Homo-oligomer: A and B are copies of this chain.
Amino acid sequence: MLAMCARIAPDDQRKRHSPDSLLRIAVEVFTLRGYDGTSMEHIAAASGITKSSIYHHVRGKEELLRLALRRALDGLSAVLDEPEARSGKAVDRLECVIRRSVEVLAAERPYVTLLLRVRGNTPTEVWALEQRRAFDRAVAGLVERAVADGDLRAGLDPRLATRLVFGLVNSLTEWWQPDRGDPERMADAVVALVFGGLLRR
């Protein structure tokens, strides 16, 4: 549906948007003002096209939210579907998931940032939170298997470890910028800390 947004209505010659650029602007406004505090007027003002032009193509702000969150969730879901995340030793699969999650975060940062702020006030937010929980359960399952394999510390709480590791990964949205190092170097640093810790062996 958003694919139609590139056709700007004749009464609105001020600005043209690709579906991506309109979505990107909506995400910026949601992140800045909070989803609840954002109106379609705010998105229209930020995008430089009229509210009715936006409504011609999307049903409302919740559809924009769903498209944005789907983009982040599709990226994370694809991480779990990668061949290296699906077979092999659990500890290696876990490393692949962490490494690729850092890269998805770097590639889709505004969308992942929005996803991390979702608190569950609308059906779309409830859906997104459930998707995040499913991702966390899959990761916690890998941690559990890697402990059982004897590769990770015995006695580790898989859910707590998953929360701490993804707390670290997600915190990159707060400060990481492309000019602070490429995503691969960030992923190396995160993996080294998470698996090996800071202490010299």
The residues of A with any CB-CB pair to B shorter than 8 Å are: 32-34, 37, 91, 116, 143, 146, 150-154, 156-157, 160-161, 163-165, 167-168, 170-172, 174-175, 181, 189-190, 192-201
Each complex incorporates copies of this chain amounting to 2
- Decide if A163 touches B151 in the complex (CB within 8 Å): no
The docked-state distance in angstroms from the alpha carbon of A168 to that of B166 is: 8
Question: Are B198 and A194 in touch, CB under 8 angstroms?
Answer: yes
Known contacts A167-B175, A168-B164, A170-B171: A193-B194 contact under CB 8 Å = yes
A135 shortest CB reach to chain B, Å: 14
From B143, B146, B168, B196, contact of A168 by CB (8 A): B168
Among the listed B37, B116, B161, B192, which residue makes an inter-chain contact with A193, where contact means beta carbons less than 8 Å apart?
A: B161
- Report the minimal beta-carbon distance from A196 to chain B, rounded to whole angstroms: 4
In whole angstroms, how far apart are the Cα atoms of A159 and B87 in the complex? Answer: 35
Q: A195 to chain B: which residues have CB within 8 Å?
A: 197-199
Distance between A158 CB and nearest chain B CB, rounded to angstroms = 10
The 3 closest A-B pairs by CB, nearest first: A167-B171, A197-B197, A168-B168
A199 B196 Cβ-Cβ under 8 A: yes
Q: What residues of chain B lie closer than 8 Å to A167, measured between beta carbons?
A: 167-168, 171-172, 174-175
CB distance from A199 to the nearest CB of B (A): 5
Question: Shortest CB–CB separation between residue A61 and chain B, in angstroms?
Answer: 16
- Among B116, B153, B154, B171, the residue within 8 A (CB) of A196 is B153
**Complex contact B197–A196 (CB within 8 A):** yes
The 10 sampled A-B contact pairs (Cβ below 8 Å) are A33-B34, A91-B199, A156-B198, A161-B189, A164-B190, A164-B193, A167-B168, A170-B174, A194-B197, A196-B197
